[in-house]
Structures are given as structure tokens and as C-alpha cells.
Amino acid sequence: MKETPTQEHNGVITNSLKPLLSSLHLNSGTTISADLASVSNHENFYTYELVEGIAKFLLERVSVRPTIGIICGSGMDLLGVSGPLADMLTDKVAFPYETIPHFPTSTVPGHAGRLVFGKLNGIPLMCMQGRFHYYEGYPLWKCSMPVRVMKLVGVTHLIITNAA
């Protein structure tokens, strides 16, 4: 069934589409449709099973079960005399992104491109050294995938840093 922005579904469709339609310069007579079955089975999206497989791959290779995840943005590895944050971890195991199945690689200069598991002051955590950006050409579903992996390996708290 095709939806039109003016069709009511308890007010949700109409109200949520108005800002989007105005930003796209679409008029209220424009028809919007989606084949949800093809989207959910699309080969270019990470399925839950694939993300779960990435998490299992990592957990089979580490003894640390992180509860905190840190996405180290630009500058986070430049902590002066202490060195990169991930170097301060004990019991650490590092995975270059290219060694993790289905994981994208970071292309930003200065990003190490590694997932590092370890402990900081006895607290189990994992650090993502370098992230994936939309401006690098990665779709948003790929940019957000590492957060889904973090949740499946046990992360309950996430710290995200950037240079802004």
C-alpha cells in the first residue's frame, strides 16, 4: 500500500513527514512508498545475525568482557606524555579493523583503525580507535554498526569523543 504524506495514522505519519517533505521540497501530493520486505533483506544492510557474528568473533578471542565502550575521536590518542588512551589499558588485545570480519576500515589520517579490549584502572572496556564517517562515503548503517557490536559484547555505557 502506498502512503501519502497527507494520510493519517493517528497523526504520526503526517506530523513526522512534514519537516522531511519541506526540506526535500516535495508537495503534499507526492506519493511515498517503501517495500519493507526488500529493505529488511537487503544485502547491503547488517542483519542482527551478522552483527552477532562479529561480536562472537571478538569474544572468542578476548578474556575481558567490557562494560564501557569508548569511541576515541580525533585527538583522543594525543594525551601528551601518557600516550594514546588504548596504550594505557592492561590485559589488552587489539584488533586492526581489517582483521575483523565485515568491519569497515577507517580512512582518516591519524586514526589507528583498531578495536582494543582491556582494563583501565581495573575496569573492563573497549576502545574504538578511529571511527567511520559518512563523509568518507560510508552509509549511516555502517557508521553505526560498531555501537551495535559493543552492545552485544557487553557494553552498557558508551563514551563518544570528538575534536569539536
Walk along the chain (164 residues) and give the pLDDT tens digit of each residue: 433 334 344 344 444 444 444 444 444 454 444 443 434 444 567 889 999 999 999 999 999 999 999 988 766 544 443 447 777 889 999 999 999 998 887 766 666 788 999 999 999 999 988 877 777 787 888 888 999 999 999 999 999 887 76
134 residue type, one letter = Y
- Tell me how far apart the alpha carbons of residues 154 and 164 are, in angstroms, rounded to a whole number: 28
Q: What stretch(es) of the chain map to CATH 3.40.50.1580?
A: 43-160
Look at residue 38 in the predicted model and tell me its pLDDT: 38
Look at residue 148 in the predicted model and tell me its pLDDT: 93
How many H-runs (helices) and E-runs (strands) does the chain carry? 5, 5
Q: Which residue has the cell 583503525?
A: 113
| SS percent in the chain: helix, strand, coil, step 5 | 35, 20, 45
Fold observed for domain 43-160: Rossmann fold (3.40.50)
Q: In a 3-state reduction of DSSP, which class is residue 164?
A: coil
Radius of gyration of the chain measured on its C-alpha atoms: 20
145, 121 in Cβ contact below 8 A? Answer: no
- Tell me how far apart the alpha carbons of residues 118 and 95 are, in angstroms, rounded to a whole number: 12
